[in-house]
Amino acid sequence: MNLLILLLFSAIIVLIFASQVAGRLDRLHRRVSSVRSTLWRRCNERYEIVHKIPKIDVQNAADKAKRLADQEMFSDEHLYAESELTRILKMHINTLDMQSAQIRLQDARRMYNEAVRATLYLRSWRISRWLRLSGRAIAPKYVDFDDSYLNEN
């Protein structure tokens, strides 16, 4: 009888803990989604500022990055195009608007990667894997491209 009570009590404790972990995972996935849209907005801000610049090579790089983003946001090709755009901007443009857009983009990418790190960490817990607490949510991926400040030449 005592063993049955102990097992029942242990199962209740595990279920409460699993429920809390599942809730935390859900909030982290929503945070990743929210910060991902912020990162996308910051990329679009940079595209808009670039289109005000009368240099063809800069606009071509921005158009390529935007086109690849429209096909699949933050794919490997898109991230490479974003890095190329940053490289071209470093060589040609050093305006205050562009620097502030670049800083906002860098902050958004950092926030996104931090949310991804926290989510992947919680998804790696045994209880998360064994009980499949992530549900059907796809594991987020880090976004890594060159978004350094323009005045770091």
CA distances from 124 to 32, 65, 152 (A): 16, 33, 37
State the pLDDT at residue 153: 46
User: Binning pLDDT at 50, 70 and 90, where does residue 150 land?
Assistant: low
CA distances from 109 to 13, 42, 61, 130 (A): 38, 9, 20, 31
Summarised one tens digit per residue, pLDDT across range 65-93 is 888 888 888 888 989 998 888 888 888 77
User: Binning pLDDT at 50, 70 and 90, where does residue 151 land?
Assistant: low
Question: pTM, whole model, 2 decimals?
Answer: 0.85
Domain spans, the chain: 19-130
